[in-house]
Structure 1
Amino acid sequence: MRLGGVLSRRREGRDCPLGWRSGPLAEALSRTLGIARLLLLGQRIHSVTCPARRPRRRWGTHPPTGRLQHRNAAAGPLVLSWPCALQCSIDGDGRVGVGADPVSSPLRQEAILREVRLNGSVNVTRIAAELGVSAMTVRRDIAVLAHHGLVTRVYGGAILPRTKPALRSNVPTVPERSRTFVLGMVVPRRSAYYREVIGGVQVVAQGTGSRLMLGVSAYGDERPQVEDMLNAGVDGLLLTPRPDTLRSAEEAAWIRELPVPVVIVERRPEPAAGLDQLDRVASDHARGTVQALRHLVELGHRRVGLLASATPTAVWISRGFDISRAIFTLPAGAPCVADHVAYDFAAVDTFIDALVSTGTTAVVAHPDEQAALLVQRVRARGLAVPDDLAVIAYDDDLASLAEIPLTAVAPARHAVGRLAATRLVQRLREGSRHVVQESLLLPCLAVRASTSRRSLPFDMSDPSTAA
């Protein structure tokens, strides 16, 4: 029988298992009717039972009314249980306690769908509180329902589908490739670097008729930005998380649980993060560094230093630098700093001292602002660029505008954004048929005056003359 039937029969004194016309049980059940209707989801009540440790009561012809009486107070409260995991307990003084175990995914989705059909909409925060689950869990359920066309995701929840299914099978449907989406994008900052990445995403958004929604994390926790975008109803996300987030399964757990498709941009998650099911598009900074070292070696340089500020890119530059030294058998001893503090003039002067004392003739500096500052300080010492020291900048935002135009490694940032957005739209259209891909784009080397060819002090063909 349904819960409403149980209550009505109790009130009328008919067909009642315990026979109460009034009292705390009827009042308790009445007070919990609202939440019970939601959690029962139209299911029938299979049983009204007492705990196994408590013997079944047998009432006389005149059942008690008013306050619930216990023969043995130590036996504990009476507990009413339903298959939906709702529990209502009544202690010896008639006090009522209501609780619910976590509701399974199919039941949650049925509850959400019923709420939408009854009221025309559902609010994520409110339904999550009623079901006793997190808002993120409800959003995942809404995403599943939306995928099957049962609801339409909107800011803060869901509404009835905007379009009804065709009544006749011969009515042509909208082609899959003509669907448009709302794409969310979270970047660490609005720098020149990410402006180009964003520009590439905008090209795809405009080409597909989609809308781009942008958030900036300022290298902090990205989750508030992501929450806002999910509430606004984005269909997919382009994320550039903090590197720490992508090193372990625990840190990356919230990304795996997102209810919409995600593409990781300009980051390369560690295998331990467990994000193998996500597409990722990034610049291959390690290979870009190898290009820079190859160029310097071809110009005759053997002692090459590294000066890099502490950025997520610097990690891959350092790896590429180590790979290059092994490939080109470069001698050790040249100064290598991968955690330089930007605009620390004293540290730059100390680095230059190390260059001079070790006979280093070339440097890769990251970013290009740091490279320009290095050139200024070197020239202030009376050294010539590139005759005494060749300099390659990693990044090409301002390198061409320096007093001596800098040779620079230029990541394909616009192409990264364009390809990442293409992957996201592709995944939204293909669904489960999509093949996860990792794309690494090679930077290009722009050769300028800071590394113009110098006269070689030794014969490159004779290794014995190499410094």
Structure 2
Amino acid sequence: MTTEPAALLPAERRARLVQRLHDDGWARVADLAAALGVTPVTVRRDIAQLAEEGVLERVHGGARLVAGPGRPEAQDGAGAAARTAAPDRSLARKPPGQAESRTLTVGMVVPSLDYYYPEVIRGARVAAANADVRIILRNGSYDAAEVRRQVAALAASTDGLLVSPPVDAPEVAEWLTTLGVPVVLVERHGQAGPFHEPLESAVTDHALGAAMGVRHLAAEGHTRIGLVTSRTSPTSRGVRAGWRAAVGELGLGDGCLDLDTVSHRDPGWHDDAGRVLDACAESGTTALLVHSDPEAISLVERAHDRDLRVPADLAVVAYDDEVAGLADPPITGIRPPKAALGAAALDLLVRRIADPGRPVHRVQLGPQLIVRASSSGAG
């Protein structure tokens, strides 16, 4: 459990450092240290390592990016959100003894370029830069037909694919096995064949993350901990499983709200949010785990409109932690390891390309609890 400001992992810190250089062209050590919440000494060490790896070059008082081969830019309008991040030495490398060869080309198809997946893309590019891999990015949306169209366009010209297919279209996972190139699923499980053999995948343990949020709220003294999920999100299934397991384990299952809503972008959200707060008042619910951030922020705002104090009258934990920390008050978040997820998926794919006969690997990463003022009196 972490209290803001949370320390970044070294790979994540370096990725953010390079992203800052992408955004601004160059940056001073002092500005980078302030933005990353670390000391100038730490920033100088990161710059020295990244300069040694050819990612950036040191200039007087700061650093700037290096242009040229090995620094692939994002494709198809992904812009700065999907540009190459800084490589970490622990990420994918060519297996020992593998002969030097052409640069691998990998296709990556994700459902969104403006929420959740930008960090996943950055993480994949961290690993790609270190493994001599070029990534071609496509936005597949959540539509099965569009995903198939985008994947088919990439399959003939790439050495492997990273794909996040729709969770409600198992036939897409089956189809991916017929393409003749290695495929790793990103933030998705998949099976194929008559015996439902697992496909290679890298996923977040969303159930574990949700359970962490419930245990945190219980430790703050709450006994009525409700769940609010977006019915259109593929992540809701895992979040709900973890919430149910935790409230059962803690003996809180009876009377705990389990609600689903439309997305905050839907015109019906206003009515759904009102029903959630009405249900909290009627049931004595004093804490909510909410997926995802926009819905959590809106519920906090609606609670304020009703003169409810957060967290004294209603504590809130958001699942995703994309923008939860920007709310008033800052909202406690469950943060999936998005950058690490992208790096792990790329690493799996590179290893699969190098050794087609290796056993199927299914990597599962744990999220992080970031405690803020919306759920803790100490926040």
Partner of residue 394, structure 1: 319
Equivalent-residue separation in structure 1 for 2:259 and 2:319 (angstroms): 14
Shift in alpha-carbon separation, 1:354–1:438, aligned structure 2, 3 A: same
Retained in 1: the 8 A contact 2:173–2:191? no
Equivalent-residue separation in structure 2 for 1:362 and 1:418 (angstroms): 34
Give the secondary-structure state (helix, strand or coil) at the position aligned to 1:414: helix
Partner of residue 313, structure 1: 235
- Residue identity (%): 37
Partner of residue 21, structure 1: none
Equivalent-residue separation in structure 1 for 2:308 and 2:200 (angstroms): 47
- Residues 38-57 of structure 1 mapped to structure 2, 5 A cutoff: none
Q: Deviations over 1:152-204 (max 9, x none)?
A: xxxxxxxxxxxxxxxxxxxxxx9526343101111011123100000011111
The TM-score, its normalising length taken from structure 1, stands at: 0.57
Q: Deviations over 1:107-128 (max 9, x none)?
A: xxxxxxxxxxxxxxxxxxxxxx
Shift in alpha-carbon separation, 1:273–1:181, aligned structure 2, 3 A: farther
- Residues 193-204 of structure 1 mapped to structure 2, 5 A cutoff: 193-204=116-127
Partner of residue 189, structure 2: 268
Partner of residue 10, structure 1: none
Matched, 1:234 2:158: yes
Partner of residue 300, structure 2: 375
Give the secondary-structure state (helix, strand or coil) at the position aligned to 1:424: helix
Retained in 2: the 8 A contact 1:391–1:406? yes
Retained in 2: the 8 A contact 1:244–1:251? no
Give the secondary-structure state (helix, strand or coil) at the position aligned to 1:324: helix
Equivalent-residue separation in structure 2 for 1:243 and 1:215 (angstroms): 18
Greater Cα shift, 333-342 or 398-407 = 333-342
More relative contact order, 1 or 2 (CA 8 Å, 6+ apart): 2
Partner of residue 418, structure 1: 343
Partner of residue 71, structure 1: none
Partner of residue 335, structure 1: 257
Unpaired runs of 5+ residues, structure 2, are 1-95
Retained in 2: the 8 A contact 1:185–1:239? yes
Partner of residue 441, structure 1: 365
Equivalent-residue separation in structure 2 for 1:197 and 1:273 (angstroms): 32
Give the secondary-structure state (helix, strand or coil) at the position aligned to 1:243: coil
Retained in 2: the 8 A contact 1:256–1:275? no
- Return the index of the structure with the highest Cα Rg: 1
Partner of residue 357, structure 1: 282
For 2:166, give the aligned amino acid. R
Shift in alpha-carbon separation, 1:272–1:307, aligned structure 2, 3 A: farther
Number of matched pairs: 276
For 1:381, give the aligned amino acid. R
Shift in alpha-carbon separation, 1:229–1:411, aligned structure 2, 3 A: same
Unpaired runs of 5+ residues, structure 1, are 1-173, 455-467
Equivalent-residue separation in structure 2 for 1:273 and 1:241 (angstroms): 20
Equivalent-residue separation in structure 1 for 2:198 and 2:227 (angstroms): 35
For 1:241, give the aligned amino acid. P
Equivalent-residue separation in structure 2 for 1:274 and 1:316 (angstroms): 24
Partner of residue 256, structure 1: 177
The offset of 1:234, in angstroms, is 0.1
Partner of residue 282, structure 1: 203
Shift in alpha-carbon separation, 1:274–1:212, aligned structure 2, 3 A: farther
- Residues 54-69 of structure 1 mapped to structure 2, 5 A cutoff: none
Shift in alpha-carbon separation, 1:398–1:273, aligned structure 2, 3 A: farther
Matched, 1:186 2:90: no
Equivalent-residue separation in structure 2 for 1:361 and 1:197 (angstroms): 33
Equivalent-residue separation in structure 1 for 2:234 and 2:123 (angstroms): 21
The offset of 1:446, in angstroms, is 0.2
The offset of 1:251, in angstroms, is 5.0
Shift in alpha-carbon separation, 1:270–1:277, aligned structure 2, 3 A: closer
Greater Cα shift, 377-386 or 176-185 = 176-185
Shift in alpha-carbon separation, 1:396–1:195, aligned structure 2, 3 A: same
Matched, 1:206 2:129: yes
Matched, 1:450 2:374: yes
Equivalent-residue separation in structure 2 for 1:183 and 1:386 (angstroms): 46
Give the secondary-structure state (helix, strand or coil) at the position aligned to 1:305: strand
For 1:314, give the aligned amino acid. S
Matched, 1:243 2:167: yes
For 1:194, give the aligned amino acid. Y
For 1:324, give the aligned amino acid. A
Partner of residue 245, structure 2: 323
Equivalent-residue separation in structure 2 for 1:178 and 1:362 (angstroms): 56
The offset of 1:255, in angstroms, is 1.4
The TM-score, its normalising length taken from structure 2, stands at: 0.69
Retained in 2: the 8 A contact 1:177–1:429? no
Retained in 2: the 8 A contact 1:335–1:351? no
